[in-house]
Amino acid sequence: MTSNGDENGHAHERRMPSGRTLRVQPIGELPSARAASTGEANRIASVGELLPDLEALRALLEAHAALDVVRFRNEGVTSICDHSGRVTSGAIFFAVPGHEADGARFATEAVGRGAVAVVAERPLPVAVPCFVVPDVRRAAGAVAARFYGEPSTHLHVIGVTGTNGKTTVADLLRICLEDDGRPVGSLGTIEYRLGPKPDGREHVLPATNTTPGPIELQRLLRAMVDRGCKHAVIEVSSHALDQGRTDAVHFEAAVFTNLSRDHLDYHGTMEEYGRAKARLFSSLAPGKLAVVPADDSSALPIRDAIDPAHRVTTWALGSAHPDALPPHGTHVRGEVLRETTFGTRMRFVTRDGHVDVELPLIGTHNARNALAAMATAIALGVGPLRVGAAMARAKPVRGRLESVPGFERFRVLLDYAHTPDALEQVLKSLRPMTRGSLRVVFGCGGERDRGKRGKMGQIAATLADHVVVTHDNPRREDPRGILEEILAGISGLESSTALVDVCDDRRQAIWHALDSAEQLDTIVIAGKGHESGQLIGTTLHAFDDREVALEWLHR
């Protein structure tokens, strides 16, 4: 397959293996299910109604991507799938090239299970029609959106992106919308909330990815619509943006938290990482909402991606104010009035006045998270007083500076901090409210950005009194090699008074920190937060930091 023309997303010509030359439009905005269905303004097409057969698939792909079809014949379509083990009769199988395995290897298996067509990036020797496209992931998103009735056009979808804080911001925003009487679903790092089941209880699933794959994402959005949700708050990772998982989602708003070092094993440079995050904003349609901090230089690539036709809301903690706002822009300012070991008293100020909030979250970084959520909720039409009341009823997100109950002599907290910036923010927040020693247990994940390991070691040894270095999720990397890279960073410090211990068993490391603790100390168990497993090699072992701490308490 060869192409001739622009690589920046503009129309170009592409020559396919069959010799056909097609005028190509990149997959992007698709006609809504509303427009393509019966014309009933509020009706969503039934699942599969807009993609009943392979003729419909061919028409969709020809309109939005370079396409070559091998062995075409029309067949009815009953489902779409990118996992060969889940294929059923009548399915379209998307042979997605993965990080560890190429879906094309499983195409024959998928056909054997009943797939009526395969979508791939090269012709495959299968006995069913093979649709050849330049990017299977993006094609999968477009097709899934059509198959599930373009669900994002029936929801107000708010995307939250950034290195740290996505989960807390998304959860606080969800609470604000719910308190305003708006049915809302959410997708994020910890769980997927899809709205009420027939018995009235909320349908909650454990998350598999921060942002699901393109087919799963559309299926979950459709589930929200079917359960009566009107809003969806979704965490959008840089991987998802780079891979086009959200290309077929129509966003009402995009929210940016911050940008600091992470995922450089994938993106290569901070510039590429920032560009990936910015795609959420450049994809917004005119008139849609962009929410960004005014006091954070890391937001510059995001601001550059904002179009003058977007509505803009900025926020800042302290006195910072944006240099300029469009005529339709707004600004929300926050102040921390008081911090305690149990929460933060905040004031947020809009052009209409101010509201004081008793936020049951600790740390300046959580004050910023709350401010981002507040600014977004207000921009979406939730009244400031209602936002303040909702914030006061919020609870800490699981594994985000979560207090482990039952400890009386000292305090034990869990946090998901697994980046240099997150670890620094957590330790800086806890230092002034710790009357004893500040102790931290942490490690770094294997097969991830190696450059952050030494930095995290230096941060821990600079800000804590006692550091216990141990394993996180080593994956297939040598765990001791990871420890050595963390320790190399610590040894590079000119001066540090911290006591540093090393333990190559995470359970023992946690117990050692607890054994060492004295009256009024604070112990932070960092890195894994809400996770209930530890990935060693390719095996996920049951492991929960919270349970390990409680085992020590009740031993």
Strands (DSSP E) found in 422-519 = 438-442, 466-469, 499-502
Alpha helix ranges (H) inside 128-235: 136-147, 166-179, 214-226
Do 244 and 386 belong together in one domain? Answer: yes
Closest CA to 434 of 522, 360, 515, 366: 522
Query: Are 227 and 185 spatial neighbours (Cβ–Cβ below 8 Å)?
Result: yes
**Full domain range(s) for residue 54:** 27-147
Provide block-wise average pLDDT over 10 residues at a time, the chain (555 residues). 37 39 34 42 88 97 89 97 96 91 95 98 97 96 98 98 95 97 97 93 93 96 98 96 95 95 80 92 96 91 92 88 63 93 92 92 94 97 95 92 95 96 95 96 95 97 98 96 97 91 98 98 97 96 98 96
CATH code at position 514: 3.90.190.20
* 19 lies in some domain: no
What's the 3-state SS for 91-155? EEEECCECCCCEHHHHHHHHHHCCCCEEEECCCCCCCCCEEECCCHHHHHHHHHHHHCCCHHHHC
Do 61 and 128 belong together in one domain? Answer: yes
Q: What is the pTM of this model?
A: 0.86
**Pairing between β-strand 311-317 and β-strand 330-339 as defined by DSSP bridges:** parallel
Do 360 and 470 belong together in one domain? Answer: no
pLDDT of res. 508: 98
CATH code at position 119: 3.40.1390.10
CATH code at position 370: 3.40.1190.10
* 159 lies in some domain: yes
* 183 lies in some domain: yes
What's the 3-state SS for 459-480? HHHHHCCEEEECCCCCECCCHH
Tally the domains of the chain: 3
Do 174 and 161 belong together in one domain? Answer: yes
Do 86 and 214 belong together in one domain? Answer: no
**Pairing between β-strand 191-196 and β-strand 202-206 as defined by DSSP bridges:** antiparallel
Do 130 and 168 belong together in one domain? Answer: no
pLDDT of res. 41: 54
pLDDT of res. 321: 64
pLDDT of res. 328: 62
Which residue, 147, 182, 209, sits at the end of a domain? 147
CA 211 from centroid of its chain's CA atoms: 5
* 35 lies in some domain: yes
Do 137 and 169 belong together in one domain? Answer: no
Do 387 and 476 belong together in one domain? Answer: no
Do 338 and 426 belong together in one domain? Answer: no
480: its two tokens: 């001791």
Do 180 and 38 belong together in one domain? Answer: no
Which residue, 364, 392, 420, sits at the end of a domain? 392
Do 412 and 277 belong together in one domain? Answer: no
Cα distance between residue 312 and residue 292, in whole Å: 8
Which residue, 89, 118, 147, sits at the end of a domain? 147
pLDDT of res. 66: 77
Query: What single letter denotes the amino acid at residue 432?
Result: P
